Amino acid sequence: MYSVARFLVFAIVSVAAAASPLASASSSSAFPGSTAKVPGLNAVANAAGKLYFGTATDNPELNDTAYTTILDNNRQFGQITPANSMKWDATEPNPGNFTFEGGDVIRDLARRNGQILRGHNCVWYSQLPDWVAFGNFTFDELIGIVENHCGTLVGHYRGQMYAWDVINEAFNDDGTFRQDVFFNVTGTAYIPAALRAARQADPHAKLYINDYNTEGTGNKSTALQNLIKELKRDGVPIDGVGFQCHFEVGGVPTTLVENFRAYEALGVEFAVTELDVRMTLPETDALLEQQKKDYQSVIDACMAVPACVGVTIWDFTDKYSWVPGAFPGWGAADPWDENLVKKPAYDGIVIGFEDR
């Protein structure tokens, strides 16, 4: 009798897992606060009603089999963002000369693993090839270049992307537009041009504007909301907003939920797109505990607002974090440490999804 019952439980769980590889096969809510038997972050996110929990990854890391064993587990990560290989310098290094090799490797990986893809990104002032950054363009020339880049890039991955960060980091921190080559030559005309080209190239991909320091209320967030209102008023396709969420330990904005609700009220979905929480090194138990709370706060805020579709961390291990390179003396920003061991932050994410 005991063995029959055990078989039945096994069979039911197996069928559920086979029927829905992206969904949680068994509830982990029986183990609140303990990650010992939690099947993975994407599984708990799905069980909580979110579309995905995902991570960024980058091509050079894919030789590390200890790393890819975790990356490839779609119960842990149901969504992948390429950290670099779909950016302009990687995909159109010379005018009209497109290369998708690196991006295709990430696309193939996600497809193999049954993971959703977010495209990152079409138009950004950084990681631009010199021919764009220092080109001496007329308005019409640059609009044509933006349309061709976005259309070709998004078109190459047509039908394969959940969403694209079409516009990345268009604002200064005071809410004025960033004075990059795109703004200096076209004003804000490059924004609708890019969005329309992306829509035409892939009608099913959600089109996002992605930025940082827009997570809490303030001038920059207000400016982004105003842009979304204008785009909607003008009939320009805009589906979503990405909140990067590169935070410092103890520095998660207190107005996340209020701010997120304002975007929901505008009729767009949104996602946490690049979450990490850096600390001054060396790490201490107290900093790791605060980091756990900070990760939980972000998940709590996503859970509090239905328009939040999912959460992506900007790589999952400190081994490959961008933080120490960009902020000397800072690091340890991710939920797995440099030895691929889970940190308290991992539990913070699980609690955020489960504890309600």
* Chain residues that interact with ligand G3I, rule: CB under 6 A: 83-84, 126-127, 168, 244, 274, 322, 326
Q: What does the alpha-carbon distance between residue 335 and residue 341 come to, in Å, rounded to a whole number?
A: 9
* CB closer to ligand G3I out of 124 and 162: 124
- Tell me the residue type at 353: F
Whether 88 contacts 126, CB under 8 Å: no
Q: What does the alpha-carbon distance between residue 330 and residue 332 come to, in Å, rounded to a whole number?
A: 7
Q: What does the alpha-carbon distance between residue 110 and residue 105 come to, in Å, rounded to a whole number?
A: 9
Q: What does the alpha-carbon distance between residue 272 and residue 184 come to, in Å, rounded to a whole number?
A: 29
* CB closer to ligand G3I out of 43 and 345: 345
DSSP for 219-268, please give it: HHHHHHHHHHHHHHHTT----EEEE--EEETT---TTHHHHHHHHHHTT-
Q: Which of 169, 215, 269, 354 is an active site residue?
A: 169
CA 124, 128, 132, 134 torsion-angle sign? positive
* CB closer to ligand G3I out of 93 and 237: 93
* CB closer to ligand G3I out of 126 and 226: 126
Specify whether 274 is catalytic: yes
The least CB distance from residue 275 to ligand G3I, in Å, is 11
- Residue nearest to ligand G3I as judged by C-beta position: 322
Catalytic residues, by residue number, are 169, 274
